């Protein structure tokens, strides 16, 4: 079993929909990262969380340390949000989830 599990693996949505991507982990962590990788390959760090919730524009990330779970929400999704979203946790090293491929259609 992977130490970091993401769901769903693939997600399609219509423009404007509210999207949730989940990340569960089984190790003790000091921080959790949400990354975005566009089809061109570049990786952008969206959030780094150690507790609570962070918001940046239409993106919201939450983490529940007790439940070892984090969610990434996208409000009013747009085709430009189409990308792979990767959850990564830092325990003694950085462990990556396998990613969630999101496609938003107009």
Query: Which positions touch another protein (CB under 8 A)?
Result: 30-31, 33, 35, 41-45, 47-48, 50, 86, 88, 90, 92-94, 96-99
Q: How far is the CB of 42 from another protein (least distance, A)?
A: 5
Q: How far is the CB of 48 from another protein (least distance, A)?
A: 5
Burial of 10 (0-12, 13-18, 19+ CB in 10 A): exposed
Query: What does the DSSP 8-state code read for residue 45?
Result: E
Q: What is the dihedral of CA 22, 98, 12, 31, to 10 degrees?
A: 30
Q: How far is the CB of 36 from another protein (least distance, A)?
A: 10
Q: Which is nearer to another protein, 14 or 45 (CB)?
A: 45
Q: Which is nearer to another protein, 21 or 33 (CB)?
A: 33
Task: Return d(Cα 55, Cα 78) in angstroms, integer.
Answer: 17
Q: Which is nearer to another protein, 77 or 87 (CB)?
A: 87
Q: How far is the CB of 79 from another protein (least distance, A)?
A: 22
Please compute, for residue 35, the number of CA atoms within 13 A of its CA located in the half-sphere on the CB side: 18
């Amino acid at each position: 079993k992977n130490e970091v599990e993401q769901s769903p693996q693939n997600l399609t949505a219509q423009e404007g929909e509210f999207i949730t991507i989940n990340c569960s982990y089984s190790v003790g962590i000091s921080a959790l990262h949400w990354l975005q990788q566009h089809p061109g390959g570049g990786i952008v760090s969206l959030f780094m969380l150690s507790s609570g919730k962070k918001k940046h524009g239409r993106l919201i990330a939450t983490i529940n340390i007790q439940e070892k779970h984090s969610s990434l929400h996208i409000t009013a999704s747009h085709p430009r949000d189409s990308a792979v979203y990767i959850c990564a946790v830092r325990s003694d090293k950085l462990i990556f989830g396998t990613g969630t491929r999101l496609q938003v259609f107009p």
